[in-house]
Chains A and B, each alone.
Chain A
Amino acid sequence: MWQRLLTLIRKEMQALLRTPQSRRLLIAPVLLQLLLFPFAATLEVKNSTLAVFNQDGGAASIELVQRLAATQAFPHVLMLHSQQDMQQVIDRQQALLAISLPQDFSRRLASGQGVTAQAIIDGRRSNSAQIAYGYALQVVQQFAAERSRQAAPARLLVQNLYNPNLEYRWFVLPSLVAIITTIGCLMVTALSLAREREEGTFEQLLVSPLTPAYIMAGKALPGMLVALVQGCIIAAAAVWVYQVPFSGTVGLLIVSMLCYGLSLVGFGLLISALSSNQQQAFLGSFAFMSPAVILSGYMAPVENMPLPLRMVSAVDPLTHFIVIVKGIFLKGYGLAEAWPHLWPLLAIAAGTLLLAYRMFLQRSH
């Protein structure tokens, strides 16, 4: 029977790789997203504009403005001359953050009195504006601490473990390994089975001596293989092109990719068992994809979600795989550290495959 399985897998690979179009379809999205994601999907605040309404003009105020302008976050500083200007730059989204220094800023500072500066944030861009505000606050606090006569009673010393300079790409690329392979793997499993239904070859397979389990395995392995190859391309690009450190072992990465592939195949086969043509399978794949990415913790931390969604997130294979890949890349995960997230992947795979198998038996009659 191994030979029959091999025949099934070879047929699947031939169908995938036979024409230049189908080969391109497997590789082009990977390359495209590899080029786009690390640059476009960034939460860092760089290259934004800071607006300053400096009513004072004293030495201290100028120094503070210069310090703010020197940070990476604000290469552009817009000098304003009236309160209305401040309103306008925020309204027109010309600046993310506007700071107003009062007339007596330098004087009060020199005399050792406390002073208040005003910061106006564009609430429509809440996330990046808050990050920008954080940068500004840091600069102002530093500036204040230097001028204060006595040392501050307590200070927080921050150290960023695993990603010391908080490089956003270090976070994005390992997650990308997970997200892109999801698309490839689902397409191969869910769509190809639906297509066999449309073309009538599915019935031909059912009257052959192959049992439904073999037919499923014949679809599952090529799907895992596609996930593995695509995953390896992205991982290699992350390491050699984007210089993301790789602190774990390649072996563990491959094992986890296979486990992840298996759980995806489970969902793919489940979708294909539920759909009767390619259009339905396609929509089904997307109905799975979007929530899977959103709930995975790639966009927002899972801890912030309400309990029911956290429960859904626990059966989302992407959640676990993202933790594993990030761990392998950045934290030097070994099998012991990865295991708490590997076994859920295997459990998800077992559950979905069993369910798909039952649906498959029902649907094939």
Chain B
Amino acid sequence: MSTADSDIAIRLRALGHAFAGRPALHALDADIRRGIITGLVGPDGAGKTTLLRLMAGLLKPDSGSLQVEGLDPVTAGDALRTQLGYMPQKFGLYEDLTVLENLTLYADLRGVTGAVREESFQRLLAFTDLARFTERLAGKLSGGMKQKLGLACTLLGSPRILLLDEPCVGVDPISRRELWRMVSSLADGGMAVLWSTSYLDEAELCGEVLLMHEGRLQYSGSPQALMDSMQGRSLLLQGIAGNRRQVLRRALRCPQVIDGALQGHAVRLVLRTAGELPDLASLDAGPDASLQAVKPRLEDAFIDLLGGGPGGDSPLAEHMPPARLPGGVDADAVIVAEQLTRRFGDFVATDHVNFRIRRGEIFGLLGPNGAGKSTTFKMMCGLLPVSSGAARVMGLDLKKSASQARQQIGYMAQKFALYSNLSVAQNLEFFSGIYGLSGVRQREAVADMVRVFALQPFLAMNAGELPLGFKQRLALACALMHQHRCCFWTNRRRGWTRSAAANSGAISTAWWTRASR
């Protein structure tokens, strides 16, 4: 890149960092420019947060050099503090204080006082569209508004560099777009913005991206250039007759295909080399199936950089026996909501909701915050009594036999509900135990999960200290342990479920596969 030196806000040279001997970052070289949003992209555990913390001066690099505005963030921390805004993944809002009180607190902490304070409050509240909510408690804000308030607090004192650590996690799509718009207007004003994300569609919009994987920089430059390099290698298989997941599995076994995923009624495939198509007949996708070239996505390029996606078969799918429905249960209506209604006083949270979920189907509940997703979910799990209508899981009415119905449900909460002060092994034993597994069966189930999710090295570690990706695996292992027949996931954050080498991807794919049998 031939940019003037004054254009570069942050410069990394052979930057490395390790935690207790385990390397987290390997010799990174990169420049972060002003006036654009630079995407710091990678799956969980890629080292994004570590890099941001180094830049914010919260960690001391083990090797290499790092210059922010020409200064070392560790030794010149005081000088940088006014120029750098860092918004960590979980911004430290005080939930018992109002929006305005939070702003005032951070203004005090940053020494923004007097007329400057009045001016910046007005500007930031208008900018973030929070002016109407100044008296509301921060704890009562939606996820998106919380992030906006966090952003407003970060922007106090007018920093020249903005570091954002996954600002869109837990934020609904509308607020995500608003946040993006706000931050791009800041970048247009000449601010250097580093936006960390694991959402690849978000990354596509960035001016430049730093793609990271397992602490290494895989690519740095414009996302468009990367996508262009994939031209002709992304295909859509349409007109499929029969089971799409089976077709996908067969396609992933073809040597010409490096990655694939379901997309609506079609299957999306990524080729190893442009022009070398898989044999349509071997896919057994029916007579009307056809392949069409489509616009490549950043995800395709990323998978390609990592040398291909997960295969069609997975250890979990091999381990999990096909879910068998007991006699008398309609395979077309395993989970049923009939006129499902829940009122809280005068407020109707869900109003006569109807749906049926077939066996092998992944059924998504979509909607912005407050749409009634959680309420529906809670009623389907028996956590919330139904006001009127019925919720049935495998023919069991949640109203009458909640406990039996729950035996059939695997539940994975938004927040990984693990006992953080118990070891991984103790968590597995506990969750298998409460679902009634004991003795040899319990030991086998635990051993299987340890094998499938590759948890062996972590068995004695406290669940709370696991890396995020492994926490997710453990939570999934705990939820799948008793081989129930329905699986409920709440607000699963989208993103790298299919990432190449990260095993959790293979597992998620496998889970879809299992559901399809």
Binding site for B on A (CB under 8 A): 3-4, 6-8, 10-11, 14-15, 18-19, 22, 199-201, 203-211, 364-365
Contacts of B404 in A (CB 8 A): 209
Q: Is there an interface contact between B430 and A7, defined as CB atoms closer than 8 Å?
A: yes
Mask, B418-459, CB within 8 Å of A = 1, is 111111001001110111101000000000000000000000
A209-B435, A211-B403 given as contacts; is B383 within 8 A of A201 (CB)? no
How far apart sit A8 and B431, CA to CA, in the bound complex (Å)? 9
Minimum Cβ distance to chain B for residue A92 (Å): 49
Q: Is B415 an interface residue (CB 8 A)?
A: yes
Contacts of A19 in B (CB 8 A): 421
Q: Is there an interface contact between B419 and A203, defined as CB atoms closer than 8 Å?
A: no
Q: Is there an interface contact between B422 and A14, defined as CB atoms closer than 8 Å?
A: yes
Closest-by-CB residue of B relative to A7 is B433
How far apart sit A160 and B94, CA to CA, in the bound complex (Å)? 61
Contacts of A18 in B (CB 8 A): 421-423, 426
Residue in B413, B420, B422, B433 whose CB lies within 8 Å of A204: B413
Q: Is the interface of B mostly helix, strand, loop or mixed?
A: loop
Q: Is there an interface contact between B434 and A199, defined as CB atoms closer than 8 Å?
A: no
Q: Is B417 an interface residue (CB 8 A)?
A: yes
Q: Is B348 an interface residue (CB 8 A)?
A: no
Contacts of B488 in A (CB 8 A): 207
Q: Is there an interface contact between B421 and A4, defined as CB atoms closer than 8 Å?
A: no
Contacts of B406 in A (CB 8 A): 207-209
Contacts of B419 in A (CB 8 A): 11, 15, 199, 201
Closest-by-CB residue of A relative to B418 is A201
Contacts of A204 in B (CB 8 A): 411, 413, 417
Q: Is there an interface contact between B384 and A207, defined as CB atoms closer than 8 Å?
A: no
How far apart sit A10 and B427, CA to CA, in the bound complex (Å)? 11
How far apart sit A6 and B437, CA to CA, in the bound complex (Å)? 12
Listed A/B pairs (9) with beta-carbon separation below 8 Å: A7-B430, A7-B434, A8-B433, A11-B433, A18-B422, A207-B383, A209-B406, A364-B383, A365-B384
How far apart sit A364 and B430, CA to CA, in the bound complex (Å)? 21
A7-B430, A207-B382, A209-B406 given as contacts; is B417 within 8 A of A199 (CB)? yes
Q: Is there an interface contact between A209 and B407, defined as CB atoms closer than 8 Å?
A: yes
Q: Is there an interface contact between A4 and B422, defined as CB atoms closer than 8 Å?
A: no
Task: Give me 19 other A-B pairs in contact (C-beta within 8 A), A8-B434, A201-B418 excluded.
Answer: A7-B433, A7-B434, A10-B433, A11-B426, A11-B433, A14-B422, A15-B419, A18-B422, A18-B426, A200-B417, A204-B413, A206-B382, A208-B431, A208-B434, A209-B404, A209-B435, A209-B436, A365-B384, A365-B385
Contacts of A203 in B (CB 8 A): 383, 413, 417
10 tightest A-B CB contacts, nearest first: A7-B433, A204-B417, A200-B417, A207-B411, A209-B407, A200-B415, A11-B430, A201-B417, A207-B381, A3-B438
Closest-by-CB residue of B relative to A201 is B417
Q: Is there an interface contact between A11 and B409, defined as CB atoms closer than 8 Å?
A: no
Minimum Cβ distance to chain A for residue B474 (Å): 12
Contacts of A205 in B (CB 8 A): 434
How far apart sit A22 and B421, CA to CA, in the bound complex (Å)? 10
Contacts of A209 in B (CB 8 A): 403-404, 406-407, 434-436
Contacts of B421 in A (CB 8 A): 15, 18-19, 22
Residue in A4, A11, A200 whose CB lies within 8 Å of B436: A4
Q: Is there an interface contact between B422 and A11, defined as CB atoms closer than 8 Å?
A: yes
Q: Is there an interface contact between B433 and A199, defined as CB atoms closer than 8 Å?
A: no
Contacts of B381 in A (CB 8 A): 207
Minimum Cβ distance to chain B for residue A216 (Å): 14
How far apart sit A205 and B478, CA to CA, in the bound complex (Å)? 12
How far apart sit A110 and B431, CA to CA, in the bound complex (Å)? 90
Minimum Cβ distance to chain A for residue B479 (Å): 9
Minimum Cβ distance to chain B for residue A223 (Å): 17
Interface centre among A4, A10, A14, A207 (most CB of B within 10 A): A207
Interface centre among B383, B413, B430, B488 (most CB of A within 10 A): B430
Closest-by-CB residue of B relative to A205 is B434
Contacts of B426 in A (CB 8 A): 11, 14, 18
Minimum Cβ distance to chain A for residue B489 (Å): 12
Closest-by-CB residue of B relative to A215 is B434
Q: Is there an interface contact between B413 and A200, defined as CB atoms closer than 8 Å?
A: yes
Contacts of B429 in A (CB 8 A): 7, 10
Contacts of B434 in A (CB 8 A): 4, 7-8, 205, 208-210
How far apart sit A199 and B420, CA to CA, in the bound complex (Å)? 8
Mask, B376-393, CB within 8 Å of A = 1, is 000001111100000000
Q: Is there an interface contact between A4 and B384, defined as CB atoms closer than 8 Å?
A: no
How far apart sit A204 and B488, CA to CA, in the bound complex (Å)? 12
How far apart sit A206 and B384, CA to CA, in the bound complex (Å)? 10
How far apart sit A274 and B517, CA to CA, in the bound complex (Å)? 45
Contacts of B436 in A (CB 8 A): 3-4, 209
Contacts of A364 in B (CB 8 A): 383
How far apart sit A364 and B383, CA to CA, in the bound complex (Å)? 7
Closest-by-CB residue of B relative to A4 is B434
How far apart sit A8 and B432, CA to CA, in the bound complex (Å)? 11
Contacts of A14 in B (CB 8 A): 422, 426
Closest-by-CB residue of A relative to B423 is A18
Q: Is there an interface contact between A208 and B417, defined as CB atoms closer than 8 Å?
A: no
Q: Is there an interface contact between A207 and B418, defined as CB atoms closer than 8 Å?
A: no
Contacts of A365 in B (CB 8 A): 383-385
Interface centre among A7, A22, A364 (most CB of B within 10 A): A7
How far apart sit A195 and B396, CA to CA, in the bound complex (Å)? 32
Q: Is there an interface contact between A15 and B422, defined as CB atoms closer than 8 Å?
A: yes
Q: Is there an interface contact between A208 and B435, defined as CB atoms closer than 8 Å?
A: yes
How far apart sit A211 and B429, CA to CA, in the bound complex (Å)? 19
How far apart sit A6 and B421, CA to CA, in the bound complex (Å)? 19
Contacts of A199 in B (CB 8 A): 415, 417-420
How far apart sit A206 and B416, CA to CA, in the bound complex (Å)? 15
Contacts of B420 in A (CB 8 A): 199
How far apart sit A136 and B70, CA to CA, in the bound complex (Å)? 84
Minimum Cβ distance to chain B for residue A291 (Å): 27
Minimum Cβ distance to chain B for residue A197 (Å): 11
Minimum Cβ distance to chain A for residue B464 (Å): 9
Closest-by-CB residue of A relative to B379 is A365
Closest-by-CB residue of B relative to A208 is B434
Contacts of B433 in A (CB 8 A): 3-4, 6-8, 10-11
How far apart sit A23 and B111, CA to CA, in the bound complex (Å)? 44
How far apart sit A210 and B435, CA to CA, in the bound complex (Å)? 8
Contacts of A211 in B (CB 8 A): 403
How far apart sit A232 and B284, CA to CA, in the bound complex (Å)? 73
Mask, B393-414, CB within 8 Å of A = 1, is 0000000000110110101010
Closest-by-CB residue of A relative to B411 is A207
Interface centre among A11, A15, A364 (most CB of B within 10 A): A11
Closest-by-CB residue of A relative to B382 is A207
Residue in B409, B422, B430 whose CB lies within 8 Å of A207: B409
Minimum Cβ distance to chain A for residue B15 (Å): 35
Closest-by-CB residue of A relative to B403 is A209
How far apart sit A14 and B383, CA to CA, in the bound complex (Å)? 27
Contacts of B382 in A (CB 8 A): 206-207
Minimum Cβ distance to chain A for residue B81 (Å): 31
Contacts of A206 in B (CB 8 A): 382-383
Minimum Cβ distance to chain A for residue B363 (Å): 17
- The residues in B between 53 and 106 inclusive whose CB is less than 8 angstroms from any CB of A are none
Closest-by-CB residue of B relative to A22 is B421
Closest-by-CB residue of B relative to A218 is B434
Minimum Cβ distance to chain A for residue B348 (Å): 17
Contacts of A3 in B (CB 8 A): 433, 436, 438
Mask, B274-285, CB within 8 Å of A = 1, is 000000000000
How far apart sit A19 and B407, CA to CA, in the bound complex (Å)? 32
Closest-by-CB residue of B relative to A19 is B421
